[in-house]
């Protein structure tokens, strides 16, 4: 269930304009609408894409969330957060 909720949150933040606005206004308040634990909230707020993927979240959703919401939208930073220096990896999964 946790993965499903995380994926729903990231999907909303990737495609829904209202969600994007509300998240930018007050991220903690926006996330309080969902049944998320403290660690889940931390992963989202810190853009911890590696931890999100390790929790089972789709790499496509972490990438979309990164591109739409991250203050630093650089792919090189995204890949560093995944632990990959390659410019071609979007996933920690093998």
Residue extents of the structural domains in the chain: 2-82
The pTM score is 0.86
Q: Could you tell me which of 37, 43, 38, 39 has the C-alpha nearest to residue 13?
A: 43
pLDDT score at 47 = 96
Give the pLDDT mean for 80-84. Answer: 87
pLDDT score at 85 = 59
pLDDT score at 84 = 74
- Convert the pLDDT of each residue in 5-52 to its tens digit: 999 999 999 999 999 999 999 999 999 999 999 999 999 999 999 999
- Convert the pLDDT of each residue in 55-76 to its tens digit: 999 999 999 999 999 998 899 8
- The angle at the Cα of 40, spanning 34 to 42, to the nearest 5 degrees, equals 115
């Amino acid at each position: 269930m946790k993965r499903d909720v995380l994926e729903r949150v990231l999907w909303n933040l990737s495609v829904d304009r209202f969600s994007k606005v509300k998240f930018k206004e007050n991220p903690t308040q926006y996330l309080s609408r969902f049944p998320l634990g403290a660690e889940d909230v931390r992963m989202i707020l810190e853009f911890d894409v590696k931890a999100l993927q390790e929790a089972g979240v789709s790499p496509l959703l972490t990438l979309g969330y990164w591109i739409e919401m991250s203050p630093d939208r650089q792919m090189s930073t995204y890949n560093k957060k995944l632990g990959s220096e390659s410019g071609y990896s979007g996933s920690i999964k093998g």
